[in-house]
Structure 1
Amino acid sequence: MRLLTLTSSTTDPRERGRQIGGAHPDAVRRSAELYRAHFAALGIDLDRADEIARRSHDLLRGWHAPLAEESDAMADAAGVDRLLVAAVGARTEILAAAEPQREGECSTAVHVPATGAAETIQTWDWHAALVPFGLLLDYAPAAGRRAKLFTEFGTAAKIGANSAGLGLHFNILSHRQDSAAGGVPVHAIARRIIDEADSVDDAIALASSAAVSASTVFTVTERGDDRRAPRAASIEVSPAGVAVVAPAGDGWLLHTNHFLDEGLAAGDTMPADSTTAERYAHLAAVRSGMTGLDPLERAAAMCGGDGHDAAVCMRPELDKPSHEQWETLLTIGIDADSLHLDVHPGTPADAARHGMTRF
């Protein structure tokens, strides 16, 4: 995956969309083409995919119109059908029409100390063939406010932070109440949290306000000040409801791709042969060694003694078709205090060896 960057100073979502689509039209177009082929490879009828995308985009417009307008403007500037870009934005909602995938996406570890900034790291695991390009966006959600995020071209956001000191990580989940009904895209919820939330409570309120058809978890961190300590929470969202998971007593909050809330976990549909439990156990085993480190040291510590063979370093099974090959495409940490993302397009072992870029 090649990381492309864009800095935007406009607060107009339509203009921002035009800037993204105009600066990187090939990336927008390729993302739309690849996802359409991916849906077909998974056995999802393309007319059905279009209908889910249309319903989800309409629900997004009703929930928060500026993000729908940004998507449409991006499509127009790139010369791509608006619905095809909306389908990438609603890719999680469309994928709910297929059988649950054997794997999920991502391993996240967040530490909230008694004082000072949260220490975070995440892997993003997905199909390399779907994402030749990723986007790092530095932008102005509103006057006097800045934000930075990583995402795929066409999805509103995945991982990011804002100038209020809030950071957000993103992991996919699956629940038996997920459906092909269409819902507010979970990537758009992530984006609105990055754009607007000043606190964990703000993030919970925003996530709870959206009608969803697919499940995910937003792990958010909040900057402390003289009156309050730093905070973090994992906000698990599904059609069955919203649950909030707090850090453990040592300040660590870990998440992979299964529900941690007891009530929502009863409906979890992540397949038994997924590595989600193995990756979670690995994070639990190495977490005590990840505190008080710089980003490169934290990436190495995330692997622990297993190094390149760590469970969180996902390698593709090359004997399988591309839509069944899972790979760690990105390692990313958030420094919300200084509003920076530390990124490497590869595994944490690769990041520790080759370095990370500060964006």
Structure 2
Amino acid sequence: MTFPAFTSSQGEPRSRGEELGSHRRAAIAANLAGYTDLFRVAGATPAQVRAWGEQALDRSAAWAPRLADEVAGIASGAGLEPWQVAVVNARTEILAALHATGEGECSTSVVLPGPGLPPRTVQTWDWHDHLRDAPMLWEFEPSPGHVVRTFTESGALAKIGVNSAGLGVHFNILRHDADTAEIGVPVHLIARRILDEAATVEEAAGIARSATVSASTVITAVTAGGAGAIEISPAGVAVIPPDPGGVLLHCNHFLDPALAEGERHATERPGTYARLRHLRDHAGELSGDDLTKRALALLSHGPDDAPVCAHPDPAQPIDQRWETLATIGLDVRAGRLRVHQGGPCQVTEATWQTF
């Protein structure tokens, strides 16, 4: 099983978006429908969702006009309104506005093994099982000679990815008391702009600090020589460095002491602490050069163990059904992703898709 992949041939944002929207028209519409169902179950009205989408589009246009043009292009190609594609890109912000929570979510490991050795990274990507067909792989050139490859959702501008400047990003959601329904710049667009423009952790953090956000997330930036978990919240931005051994682990709670004072996700769904303990207990295996072994080090199922590898309970409503939909490693030196469709319990040497 592999994720669908698309390589853009267009260089300008609007035309690149139209090309993608046309090629992935059915998948983008299905993804929008899936999120519409999710927001409805979480308590949103159609009028609220539209207003939030329009607000996200306005905030995006003010912060990154070219990315807003690309969103409009995707909408044109897919036969949708721009606000509808903005809703897909702002799903984190809309869920924060609805105070939505869940037990699942992602676990990220980055290890810098030493001078001359490539970073060893791996993460699980957990999301709602009714959206398991949303992911895709996308390659494009936001500027001549600068290649970006990203694992994202159909219609979303980016998520986890790498660029040809030697920088990659992992992605985990966070929740903070400062999160608000006054929709800000979507965090998925922050990840996209980092991939488009940054070559260092410092540049990535600067891009994050330039955005006014309404929802929280952590974007872990990694290069051949460094890494930093960029915790983003309406309360501020903080960068968590690797420990003295080069290990940088993150789940779904804030690690910066000041931002942690407003932590919300972990107080409501404390499984994130158990997942981080599991990663720390397996830091040795997560330091190895074999991606399959790193992925298997994440293998842990709740309820008796840390729920790193998530499987949905069909008896729950859709907003509480979580599944590990992908396991992903970054090769920042080669500018490529290695992606497995599903959780660590299904990984073998043969299941990796290289992109």
TM-score computed with the length of structure 1 as normaliser: 0.94
Name which of 249, 261, 264 aligns with 2:259.
264
Partner of 2:297: 301
Q: Does 1:112 align with 2:108?
A: no
Partner of 1:336: 332
Aligned runs of 1:232-251 on 2, under 5 Å? 232-251=227-246
User: CA distance change for structure 1 residues 53 and 92 in 2, over 3 Å: closer, same or farther?
Assistant: same
User: CA distance change for structure 1 residues 178 and 327 in 2, over 3 Å: closer, same or farther?
Assistant: same
User: Counterpart of 1:285 in structure 2: which amino acid?
Assistant: D
Partner of 1:130: 131
2:301/2:308 contact within 8 Å kept: no
Q: Does 1:200 align with 2:201?
A: yes
Q: Deviations over 1:196-248 (max 9, x none)?
A: 1010110010000000000000100122xxxxxx1000000000001110101
* 266-275 or 54-63, larger mean C-alpha shift: 266-275
Q: Does 1:49 align with 2:49?
A: yes
Partner of 1:17: 17
Gaps of 5+ in 1: 224-229
TM-score computed with the length of structure 2 as normaliser: 0.95
Q: Deviations over 1:111-170 (max 9, x none)?
A: 012222111001000102024231101111111111100111122211000011001000
Q: Deviations over 1:260-304 (max 9, x none)?
A: 000000001114334111111100100112223222122122327
Q: Secondary structure at the match of 2:123?
A: strand
Structure 1 vs Structure 2: percent identity of aligned residues?
43
How far apart, CA to CA, are the structure 2 residues paired with 1:332 and 1:88?
22
1:104/1:172 contact within 8 Å kept: no
1:282/1:311 contact within 8 Å kept: no
Gaps of 5+ in 2: none
How far apart, CA to CA, are the structure 2 residues paired with 1:343 and 1:255?
19
Partner of 1:226: none
How far apart, CA to CA, are the structure 2 residues paired with 1:261 and 1:17?
36
User: Counterpart of 1:124 in structure 2: which amino acid?
Assistant: W
Partner of 1:185: 186
Partner of 1:88: 88
User: CA distance change for structure 1 residues 165 and 239 in 2, over 3 Å: closer, same or farther?
Assistant: same
1:299/1:352 contact within 8 Å kept: no
Q: Secondary structure at the match of 1:146?
A: strand
Q: Does 1:323 align with 2:319?
A: yes
Q: Deviation of residue 317 (structure 1)? A: 1.4
Q: Deviation of residue 322 (structure 1)? A: 2.0
Q: Does 1:97 align with 2:105?
A: no
* 264-273 or 141-150, larger mean C-alpha shift: 264-273
Q: Deviations over 1:302-335 (max 9, x none)?
A: 32799x9763111111211222101100000000
Partner of 1:209: 210
2:104/2:323 contact within 8 Å kept: no
Q: Secondary structure at the match of 1:341?
A: strand
Q: Deviation of residue 104 (structure 1)? A: 5.0
